[in-house]
């Protein structure tokens, strides 16, 4: 098994490169099993090439070469070769690569294990199995195989790939210093675009460590090597957008990312979110729709497009997208709660109640869902049940201004104004920037005939949420009660030009 021709050495380099592409599917950071990936992992999904000629070696022999005449892997071809040559290490390496390309990582691990049994001195076989372990997210086993591969004294380029792989395994295992050391070492051995990939991975590691400036420098280095490095483009965009608060500088990088890879769902989705921040709403919807086409079976496009629809009061469209999300993730409580929101906006309180009860059944300890239950009860004048639901939300940890605002408002609807004021005062004390509490308290003061205080509170609401038409009209009515007709008329004129309630607030009186 020690025979190795010059052609095998050349093919082995190709094999290393192919495994490197497979390794690029390993992301730093993982998303929850029942949630679509949130977009903070910055992965680029590169497909393994399936040309047979890139895989077979001299060891695989003429059978492999004959099978590769059409330059594609025929169904069952690798299995047939294993059947014909069961003692051939190269054939198992080949079948392992086919398994990786088909995302059958456990099968790949079995084939690479057989290749190691046939040639225990093969650094490439250990590296290949480590890659499969990484893709299977067994990073401890991957680290062990990377260590074994390095002990086989691999050639420099292969050593660089092994160090890169072990570096990512170290990130996942929380061994930060070791991961950075491996990335630094890998840079000494890899060249060209492979070196650029190391900068991208090290940039992600720095990102996780909170060293944003170092991260940015590494992504710039990656782009200086490969201007179409989508990992680097998306990551720099995220830094500009979320860390440096410059969405206008993020957008050009995302434009480049979708130009470099028009099938990259993450790039389309982030581009849409940045465009929303820049108030380019129609362009944002176009970007989300592009992502919808790219990620037809993925929940992310629907989730982000739902956000656009809710902001633009297209509640039927929002509910339709949420219904599709629930078909993909039927046990995700959050999506039921969001569809409850949309249904309430459409005055479908029966559907809203059904959805929020489903969310509570799935996550009975989440206080936010009980607040939503209270809102449904409020809208249907089931005030005592609403109070119980809001109090349960607080007891389960949702101790925020919004739930206190809603609890206070229900007491106002029941005519218990002093109790309402006590609770609303607490809501304002908890979060003076939550404008809805001022509006609710203003209505309570108006019910008590204290119109000066009512005007003051609605004015505070309008400072936080300017030009909301319903609030301007409400204040105009209070000015009428005070005999300030001129001020009332000014508010009515402003309301005619103002905004219908586009903010999504939790008040039963919301437009």
State the DSSP string of 109-166.
HHHHHHHHHH-TT-HHHHHHHHHHHHHTT-HHHHHHHHHHHHHT---HHHHHHHHHHH
CB of 102 closer than 8 Å to CB of 127: no
Which letter does DSSP use for residue 178 in this model? H
Q: Which has the higher per-residue pLDDT, 44 or 149?
A: 149
Give the pLDDT band (50/70/90) at residue 69: very low
Q: Tell me the three state secondary structure of residue 4.
A: coil
Tell me how far the alpha carbon of residue 440 is from its chain's centroid. Answer: 35
Check residue 398 and give its pLDDT: 87
Close Cβ partners of 296 (under 8 Å, ≥ 6 residues apart)? none
pLDDT cut 90: percent of the chain above it: 48
Check residue 363 and give its pLDDT: 93
Looking at 1.25.40.10, 1.10.3720.10, 3.50.50.60, 1.20.1250.20, the CATH number of the domain 325-398 comes to 1.25.40.10
Task: Give CATH 1.25.40.10 domain extents, the chain.
Answer: 1-226, 325-398, 400-503
Give the pLDDT band (50/70/90) at residue 299: low
CB of 168 closer than 8 Å to CB of 28: yes
| pLDDT exceeds cutoff 70 at 78 | no
Nearest 5°: the CA angle 245, 250, 251 is: 130
Structure tokens at 427: 């809501």
- Mutual angle of helices 281-294 and 265-277, in 10-degree steps: 170
Give the pLDDT band (50/70/90) at residue 15: very low
Q: Which has the higher per-residue pLDDT, 311 or 149?
A: 149
| pLDDT exceeds cutoff 90 at 241 | no
Check residue 92 and give its pLDDT: 82
| pLDDT exceeds cutoff 80 at 323 | yes
Other beta carbons within 10 angstroms of residue 288's beta carbon come to 27
| pLDDT exceeds cutoff 90 at 355 | yes
Which run of H or E residues covers position 107? helix 105-118
Class of CATH domain 1-226 = mainly alpha
Give the pLDDT band (50/70/90) at residue 26: very low
Check residue 443 and give its pLDDT: 96
Structure tokens at 482: 């005070």
Check residue 41 and give its pLDDT: 31
Lowest mean pLDDT of 26-40, 140-154, 163-177, 399-413, name the range: 26-40
Rounded average pLDDT over 421-432: 94
Check residue 54 and give its pLDDT: 36
Q: Which has the higher per-residue pLDDT, 106 or 31?
A: 106
Which letter does DSSP use for residue 52 in this model? G
The closest of 478, 479, 472, 477 to 501, measured between CA atoms, is 472
| pLDDT exceeds cutoff 50 at 245 | yes
Q: Tell me the three state secondary structure of residue 54.
A: helix
Rounded average pLDDT over 277-305: 71
Q: Facing residues of 468 across strands?
A: 499
Rounded average pLDDT over 415-432: 95
Rounded average pLDDT over 2-23: 39
Check residue 300 and give its pLDDT: 64
Q: Which has the higher per-residue pLDDT, 116 or 10?
A: 116
Check residue 268 and give its pLDDT: 82
Rounded average pLDDT over 279-286: 83
Contacts within 8 Å (CB) and 24+ apart, 351-355: 352/376, 352/379, 353/380
CA distance 157 to 225: 17
CB of 389 closer than 8 Å to CB of 374: yes
Q: Which has the higher per-residue pLDDT, 66 or 189?
A: 189
Q: How far is CA 41 from CA 32, 218, 279, in A?
A: 12, 16, 26
Average predicted confidence (pLDDT) for the chain: 80
Q: How far is CA 179 from CA 102, 124, 206, 210, 239, in A?
A: 29, 21, 10, 15, 22
Lowest mean pLDDT of 1-5, 376-380, 452-456, 467-471, name the range: 1-5
CB of 111 closer than 8 Å to CB of 96: yes
Q: Which has the higher per-residue pLDDT, 419 or 53?
A: 419
| pLDDT exceeds cutoff 50 at 458 | yes
Structure tokens at 43: 């992965």
CB of 395 closer than 8 Å to CB of 371: no
| pLDDT exceeds cutoff 70 at 17 | no
Close Cβ partners of 223 (under 8 Å, ≥ 6 residues apart)? 196, 229, 232, 233, 236
| pLDDT exceeds cutoff 50 at 134 | yes
Give the pLDDT band (50/70/90) at residue 381: very high
pLDDT cut 70: percent of the chain above it: 77
Give this prediction's pTM. 0.54
End-to-end CA distance of the chain, in Å?
A: 78
Q: How far is CA 318 from CA 160, 161, 325, 507, in A?
A: 48, 45, 11, 20
Topology of domain 400-503, CATH: 1.25.40
Close Cβ partners of 2 (under 8 Å, ≥ 6 residues apart)? none
Give the pLDDT band (50/70/90) at residue 75: very low
Which run of H or E residues covers position 364? none
């Amino acid at each position: 098994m020690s025979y190795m021709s010059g052609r095998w050495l050349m093919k082995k380099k190709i094999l290393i490169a192919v495994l490197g592409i497979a390794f690029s599917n390993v992301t730093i950071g993982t998303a929850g099993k029942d949630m679509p990936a949130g977009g903070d992992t910055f992965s680029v999904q590169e497909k393994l090439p399936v040309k047979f000629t890139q895989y077979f070696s001299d060891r695989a022999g003429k059978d492999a070469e004959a099978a590769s005449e059409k330059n594609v892997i025929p169904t069952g071809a690798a299995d047939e070769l294993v059947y014909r040559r069961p003692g051939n290490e190269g054939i198992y390496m080949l079948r392992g690569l086919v398994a990786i390309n088909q995302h059958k990582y456990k099968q790949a691990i079995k084939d690479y294990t057989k290749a190691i049994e046939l040639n225990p001195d093969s650094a490439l076989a250990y590296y290949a199995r480590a890659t499969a372990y990484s893709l299977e997210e067994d990073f401890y086993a991957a680290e062990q195989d990377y260590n074994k591969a390095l002990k086989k004294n691999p050639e420099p380029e292969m050593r660089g790939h092994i160090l890169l792989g072990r570096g990512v395994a170290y990130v996942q295992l929380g061994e930060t210093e070791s991961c950075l050391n491996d990335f630094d070492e890998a840079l000494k051995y890899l060249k060209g675009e492979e070196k650029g990939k190391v900068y991208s991975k090290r940039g992600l590691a720095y990102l996780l460590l909170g060293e944003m400036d170092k991260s940015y420098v590494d992504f710039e280095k990656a782009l200086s090597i490969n201007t179409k490095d989508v990992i680097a483009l998306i990551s720099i965009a995220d830094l500009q957008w979320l860390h440096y608060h410059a969405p206008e500088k993020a957008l050009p990088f995302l434009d480049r990312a979708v130009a470099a890879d028009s099938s990259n769902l993450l790039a389309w989705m982030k581009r849409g979110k940045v465009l929303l921040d820049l108030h380019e709403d129609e362009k944002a919807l176009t970007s989300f729709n592009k992502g919808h086409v790219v990620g037809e079976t993925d929940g992310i496009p629907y989730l982000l497009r739902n956000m656009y629809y809710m902001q633009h009061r297209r509640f039927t469209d929002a509910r339709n997208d949420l219904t599709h999300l629930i078909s993909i993730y039927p046990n995700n409580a959050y999506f039921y709660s969001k569809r409850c929101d949309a249904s309430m906006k459409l005055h479908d309180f029966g559907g809203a109640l059904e959805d929020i009860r489903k969310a509570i059944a799935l996550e009975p300890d989440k206080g936010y869902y009980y607040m939503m239950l209270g809102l449904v009860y409020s809208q249907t004048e089931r005030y005592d049940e609403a109070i119980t639901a809001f109090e349960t939300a607080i007891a389960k940890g949702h101790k925020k201004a919004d739930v206190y605002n809603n609890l206070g408002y229900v007491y106002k609807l029941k005519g218990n104004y002093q109790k309402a004021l006590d609770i609303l005062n607490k809501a304002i004390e908890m979060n003076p920037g939550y404008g809805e509490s001022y509006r609710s308290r203003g209505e309570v003061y108006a019910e008590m005939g204290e119109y000066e205080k009512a005007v003051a509170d609605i004015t505070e609401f309008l400072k936080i949420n300017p030009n909301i038409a319903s609030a301007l009209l409400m204040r105009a009515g209070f000015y009428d009660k005070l005999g300030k007709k001129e001020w009332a008329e000014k508010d009515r004129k402003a309301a005619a030009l103002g905004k219908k309630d586009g903010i999504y607030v939790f008040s039963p009186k919301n437009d």
